[in-house]
Structure 1
Amino acid sequence: MGEPDQPSTARMIDFWLGGAHHFPVDVAAAGAFEQAYGPCAPVFRELREFLGRTVRAMAAHGVDGFLVFGAGVPTMGNVHEVATDATVLYTDVDPVTIRLGQSILAGSDRAGYGFGDATDIGTIDPAQLHRFVPGWGRRPVGVVFLGLAAFLDDATLTRTLDELYAGAAPGSLLAVDFDTEELAGHPQALAMMGPQFRMRPPAAFAPLLGRWAPTADGIVPVAQWRPEGPPAQVPDAFHGVLATRGGD
């Protein structure tokens, strides 16, 4: 795979997490963003810790199949590295990220990587879905939806989460995060996020979940979601929630 000429958010996050799957163009973009905002590594490490805690919570509920949207680079504590007995289908829309993920997971029989647009579950290869999330639609599964809500308008996000609710079996669990208005005070950094990026006030988060019901933990800053010890002191950039699909 040749070196890309455009940075990728997925590979920038890999850089911030201390991973090995990024290029000089990603490091340069990460540096430019940090000049406009400040240190990002602690923020994204805490978001990855939130992912790990929610995945462990889902596994404790008996979930052994995960469907991951906007998956990015499948290392540094990503789902199959946390739920070591589960099968996982990672999906993304960026072809470079997909190829990178496929090369990383080439030797795995538990985790696969393919194209998947979160706003249209029909874009996922059915063979991959049945292989890596064999209980989809029939028994509880885990859905990971991180890093996506900020790039969908309210109508698209609520429709997407409702379609996932309709497709998943009762008892399924959803991990989702929302971007706060943290970047409002950093206009240069906000401009780098592009015109699709949407910050939201925390009061707006719960209605977007639709029929998904938050666990008793609620929708809280990710560092405060079932912390293992004192919550990390990081900027309040993301709120996260684990939500359940009830029986209809």
Structure 2
Amino acid sequence: MVEPDQPSTARMIDFWLGGEHHFPVDVAAARAFEQAYGPCVPIFRELRAFLGRAVRAIAARGVDGFLVFGAGVPTVGNVHEIAPEATVLYTEVDPVTIRLGQRILAGSDRAGYAYGDATDIGTIDPAQLHRFVPGWGRRPVGVVFLGLAAFLDDETLTRTLDELYTAAAPGSCLAVDFDTEELAGNPEALAMMGPAFRMRSPAAFRPLLGRWTPTEDGVVAVTHWRSEVTPPAVPDAFHGGVAVRGDD
């Protein structure tokens, strides 16, 4: 695989998680961000732990097919490792990460990786969708939507989540997270996130879900969502939850 000359957030996160699928350019970018905002490793490890709890909770409802948007690198406790009996389609828009994901999953018959723009589900290859999420539109599935809300304005985000609600079958579940205003006090790190990055106050999170109904756990700090241990003392950078599609 040709080494990229631009860093990728997905591969930076792989580095912070202790993975093996990143390049020197990603490590350099991750180190630079850590200089501006230090606690990246514990924050992203807690976010990955939240993904694990959310996916297990969705699987416990009988869901055995997952569609993952903004998937990043499919290792270090990603969805198919958390729910090994399920089928999973990972999607991304970054071509380097897609090729990397396809290489990692080349021997799997239960997980695939394809291009997919979260704001336009029609960009996903229907053959891939129906192979790895065979019940899409007909029976409950799990939709994983992590790391994306912060890069969509309110109008685009609400439209996207509503379109996913319409396309998914009743009983489907959405795992979602939102960035808090944690970086507001770190202007250098905030500048590195780029002009599309949107922080939001916790009061804004629930309305953005539209017709999706959160479980009784609500949308809370990811360290607290169904935590099985005393939540660690890490900055409150992400809130998340699982929401369910009703019968309407």
TM over 0.5: yes
Equivalence for 2:24: 24
Deviation at 1:233, TM superposition (A): 1.3
Corresponding position of 1:143: 143
2:120 corresponding residue in structure 1:
120
Q: Which residue of 1 aligns with 2:48?
A: 48
**Deviation by residue 1:29-83 (Cα, 9 ceiling, x = unmatched):** 0010000011211000000000000000011000000000000000000000000
- C-alpha separation between the residues in 1 aligned to 2:3 and 2:184? 33
Give me the whole-angstrom Cα distance separating, in 2, the residues matched to 1:171 and 1:17: 32
The answer to whether residue 244 in structure 2 is matched with residue 244 in structure 1 is yes
Whether 1:158 aligns to 2:153 is: no
TM-score, structure 2 normalization = 1.00
With normalisation by structure 1, the TM-score equals 1.00
User: 1:35 aligned to 2:35?
Assistant: yes
In 1, Cα distance between equivalents of 2:194 and 2:236: 20
- 2:175 match: secondary structure: strand
Aligned pairs, how many?
248
The residue matched to 1:113 in structure 2 has which SS? Answer: strand
Unmatched 5+ stretches in structure 1: none
Deviations, residues 184-203 of structure 1 (Å, cap 9, x unaligned): 00000000000000000000
2:62 matches 1:58: no
CA distance in 2: counterparts of 1:49 and 1:98, whole angstroms: 23
How far apart in 2 are the matches of 1:203 and 1:2? 44
Unaligned runs of 5+ in 2: none
Whichever residue aligns with residue 185 of structure 1, its letter is: G
Q: Which amino acid aligns with 2:134?
A: P
Alignment of 1:171-190 (within 5 A): 171-190=171-190
Counterparts of 1:7 and 1:119, CA distance in 2: 23
**What's 2:85 paired with?**
85
- Counterpart of 1:100? 100
Counterpart Cα distance in 2 of 1:155 and 1:198: 12
Letter matched to residue 26 of structure 1: D
Give distance in 2, aligned partners of 1:22 and 1:206. Answer: 34
CA distance in 2: counterparts of 1:61 and 1:150, whole angstroms: 28
Q: What amino acid is the match of 2:244? A: T
Alpha-carbon separation, structure 2, partners of 1:115 and 1:99: 10
**Residue matched to 2:216:** 216
Alpha-carbon separation, structure 1, partners of 2:2 and 2:121: 30
- Give the counterpart letter for 1:111 in structure 2: A
* RMSD, aligned CA: 0.4
